[in-house]
Structure 1
Amino acid sequence: MPRNLLPVLSLLLGTLFLFLGNGLQGLLLPVRGTLEGYSNEVLGLLGTSWAGGFVAGCFVAPLLVRRIGHVRAFSGFGAIICMNVLVTGIVVDDVAWLTLRAVTGFCTAGTSMIIESWLNERATNESRGAIFSLYIAITLLGVVGGQLLVGIIDVSTPVLFMVCGILYCVAILPTTLSTAASPQPLKRVSLDLPSLFRNSPVSFVGILMIGIANGAYGTLVAVFAAQAGLKQAAIAVMVSITIFAGAIIQFPAGRLSDRMDRRYVLAALSGISATAGILLVLLHPMNVYVIVVLVAIYGSTANALYPIAVAHANDFAAPEDFVKVSGGLLLLFGIGTIIGPTLGGPVMTHFGPHALFAVTAVAHVSVVVYAILRSRMRAARSSAEKDNYTAAPAAITSLATPESVALDPRASADGDGR
């Protein structure tokens, strides 16, 4: 197996530094923005603009890559991201940040799709599972590692912006210096919402609600923590614990959903997430340990929902439609992440920082109600008929593209694994 991984080590190394930069920048901006006195609406729109740029990039980036090639496109996207983060540290202005964040989201989609396409091209049927698992692990470690840097270096200085720029520069090198042949052109992305809903109403509604909750939380949790009185290091640790907890619980929750109606598992996990959120709203805890525990409970269950919803959709889809369904749901999740922070910012302004979790609680209660309602209207698949559960990086990092779906070992069943 190690021999099978050698051809993609340089790509995985570039992935690590790319996600280190993404994790660092994603937490640095709301924390620094809070220090600068930006409104909650502006801080929420930072997430909205990034998610909007990312979704747009999933549609447009394949066209650009076809015109100029993988290496040139990757270098160009990476250089723009690097310049953007450096300019963000120089020009501390809310309008400039929103514009630059949208461009960064667009270019991040492009770099991610190119790396995932390259990995998919180099993977064989024997190594695909190992490469996919290693890719998920690297994305999680990269995001967490980048976030922890916020707890080490003072965010009020330009240093972290420069560190982030360095990480992006290093991420470009393995791919640009690689002698590997360029992969096939990126797949054109399509989004057929009516078809997705007909296939699985629970997955459609559930993933949209999960995207809203995760988008609001992912963008504004650092703002909530800062306004609740947590120090810079505590914020970084809290967010990182949430990611690790979510990664750990994905596997037992997924295996449980393989053995029973996935809609009940979705309802149970969503209920726990909603309960943790409601407690944060009602209790208004100011003690750092109480906040970290409740947020960890929230994050561990909330981050386990997305892959279960995708697996439920694939239970009812034909094997040859795996890439189409999973890729479409990923884009639907992206739409939710655009809506979430747009709602979360104004709600926090009017009702206080803890009200962030009122937004997430409404989304998760909606999943509970709809999943239980639909379980009375449509019979569950038997264990033999079910799709195999697989963890998904989008559940936690919100950085996966439709190309990552083709890398999933299950995609080889319909010929889209390349």
Structure 2
Amino acid sequence: MTQTKGQISQIGALLVGSAALLFAGGINALILPLRGSIEGFSELSLGLLGTGWAVGYVGGCLIVPGLVGRVGHIRGFSAMAGLAAISILASLLLIHAPAWIVLRAVAGFCFAGAAMIVESWLNERTAPHLRGRVFGIYTMVNLAATTAGQMLLTLGDPAGYAFFVLAAMFYAMALLPTAITRQSAPQPMVAAKLDLPTLWRNSPLAVAAVLLVGVSNSAFGTLGAVYGNRIGLETSTIAIFMSIAVVAGAALQVPVGWLSDRIDRRKVLLALTFVAAVADAIFVFLAPTQPMVVLVVASIFGAAVYAMYPVIVAHANDHAPENYFLLTSGGLLLLFGIGSIIGPLAAGVVMGAMGPSGLFLTSLVAHVALILFGLWRMRRRSAVPADQKGAFKASPLVATSTPQTLVLNPKGDITEPPSETGPAPENPAEGASENPDEGPVEKV
């Protein structure tokens, strides 16, 4: 306990910085679709906000590690946080859908880069034997900060300017811990690599599932607030509607993980998908508008969809060769990002054609496709024996996960598959620049 308290005291400033970043992100993610609805933006334009964010976020995961290797962690983080603050303030000045889509992509890029740098510092300062506890604390801090950012919108009018300014302030606040640190810069950052043929050979179900879950979850994350606005929910209820889904998903990860470690993970995944599809069908065919009913169904939906991703990752790693945790998980993270590019765009088109229920019709199609593909794969491949399974690992919000998050994860200490020419060097920073704030990028 004393060791844990000492470790937390050392990284407390970084946790505060991460909380500020996620708090600003929570405001940013909710204020734009709400304000866009008030300004009369079309469903397609609002969906493209989510597509822009996902494009920027994936780009940040791929590009920022190399950028930081050239300019250093501190300057890189300052640039990311500053640009994120500028993007949200520019959104207040340029209230036009095309401008918002571009600015949202800039915010996604900067958010990914800033999160990766914070996580890199956390990983550097965390003792290996305490990594699991620190990862859990980090995950809960981020969940609480994101939820708090969304719930802040219950206190004011989204038609004003205050929430844009507050988001910019918290983006700027996030850079303070790294700006005033006296610690040396962390080891080189980790960039994800998408090796689709290898991922498909290891687990076709994981590839298809993470893509479809990316479609569903990103569509809801982007356009859920628009759905609530279109069916007449008040702003305070919309904030709860979006937050309760995420909190329910986080709460269900522990029992889902326990169950998936004991039975075929595919059955657990398909059961979650079936529950999500039932919630989708309720929203599509019964179209509830009573706030309490909407919130109950949203909590069921969120509990299912936000617990799927860690089951998919665990299933993929059950089939992957030893030492491929980061390669597999990093590839799946990028596939989820690709699904996140598709989802808001598809849902925006369907909502424009058939109204608010088009959001959950898009999700329903993705979930039914996943169920059918999963049932087919279960006929083609037997389950992994329980004694050959890896341990289930809870996951933070996927929309805020980066390749560096995978390293902070207590299972992420395996960084590279063994090469044919010999074992990987024991020092992960071997070959790094003499400048402690620069270095090569490690590939996942």
Query: TM-score with structure 1 length normalisation?
Result: 0.97
Measure the CA separation in 1 of the matches of 2:132 and 2:142.
Answer: 16
What's 2:405 paired with? 404
- Compute the displacement of 1:90 (Å): 1.9
- Deviations along 1:363-416, one digit per CA (max 9) or x if unpaired, are 111121111211121111122111111111134xx1111111111111224579
Name the structure 2 match of 1:279. Answer: 282
Q: Which moved more, 1:341-350 or 1:176-185?
A: 176-185
**Mean CA deviation greater in 183-192 or 103-112:** 183-192
1:296 paired to 2:299: yes
C-alpha distance in 1 between matches for 2:367 and 2:182: 47
Q: What is the aligned partner in structure 2 of residue 372 from structure 1?
A: 375
Aligned to 1:164: 167
Of 204, 219, 225, the residue aligned with 2:207 is 204
| Residues in 2 aligned to 1:221 and 1:69: alpha-carbon distance in whole angstroms | 38
Gap regions ≥5 residues in structure 2: 418-426, 429-444
1:327 aligned residue (327, 330, 346): 330
Matches of 2:139 and 2:327 in 1, distance apart? Answer: 21
| Mapped partners of 1:95, 1:336: distance in 2 | 22
Moved more, 221-230 or 57-66: 57-66
Q: How does 1:11-410 map to 2 (within 5 A)?
A: 11-395=14-398, 398-410=399-411
CA distance in structure 1 between the partners assigned to 2:259 and 2:159 by the alignment: 45
Contact 2:143 2:397 in 1 (8 A): no
SS at 2:157 equivalent = coil
CA distance in 2, matches of 1:252, 1:51: 29
Tell me which moved more, 408-417 or 263-272: 408-417
What's the secondary structure of 1:151's corresponding residue? helix
Contact 1:57 / 1:107 at 8 angstroms: preserved in 2? Answer: yes
Task: Give the whole-Å Cα distance in 2 for the aligned partners of 1:361 and 1:179.
Answer: 51
Q: Is the 8 A contact 1:212 1:339 kept in 2?
A: yes
Taking only the aligned residue pairs, the percentage that are identical comes to: 41
What SS does the corresponding residue of 2:281 show, helix, strand or coil? helix
Query: How far apart are the structure 2 equivalents of 1:23 and 1:391?
Result: 21
* Cα distance in 1, alignment partners of residues 247 and 263 from structure 2: 25
Report the residue type matching 1:101 in the other structure: R
Aligned-partner Cα distance in 2 for 1:369–1:330:
23
Q: Do 2:191 and 2:403's aligned partners in 1 also have CA atoms closer than 8 Å?
A: no
- 1: distance between equivalents of 2:201 and 2:352? 38
Contact 1:5 1:127 (8 Å CA) reproduced: no
- Tell me which residue corresponds to 2:436: none
Contact 2:280–2:364 (8 Å) recurs in 1: yes
Instruction: Give the Cα–Cα distance (whole angstroms) in 2 for the partners of residues 324 and 414 of structure 1.
Output: 8
Contact 1:267 1:369 survives alignment (8 Å): no
Query: 1:71 aligns to what SS in structure 2?
Result: helix
Query: Contact conserved, 1:11 with 1:175, CA < 8 A, in 2?
Result: yes
Alignment deviations for residues 195-247 of structure 1 (CA, whole Å, 9 cap, x no partner): 11111111110000000000111100000000000000110011111111111
Q: Secondary structure at the match of 1:389?
A: coil
1: CA distance between counterparts of 2:362 and 2:117?
34
For residues 296 and 189 of structure 1, the distance between their equivalents in structure 2, rounded to whole angstroms, comes to: 32
Distance 1:113 1:329, change over 3 A: same
Q: How many residues align?
A: 416
Deviates more, 1:193-202 or 1:38-47: 193-202
Query: Do the aligned partners of 1:319 and 1:413 also contact (CA within 8 Å) in 2?
Result: no
Displacement of 1:43:
0.2
Shift of 1:6: 2.2
Q: Is the 8 A contact 2:47 2:222 kept in 1?
A: yes
CA drift of 1:136 comes to: 0.8
Residues 192, 334 of structure 2: 8 Å contact kept: no
Aligned mates of 1:57, 1:36 — CA distance in 2: 29
In the TM superposition, residue 4 of structure 1 has moved relative to its aligned partner by 2.0
Contact kept in structure 2, 1:269 and 1:301, CA below 8 Å: yes
AA of the residue aligned to 2:269: L
How does the TM-score come out when normalised to structure 2?
Answer: 0.92
- Residues 14 and 170 in structure 1, CA contact (< 8 A), matched pair in contact too: yes
RMSD of equivalent CA atoms: 1.3
Pairwise CA distance, 1:113: 0.9
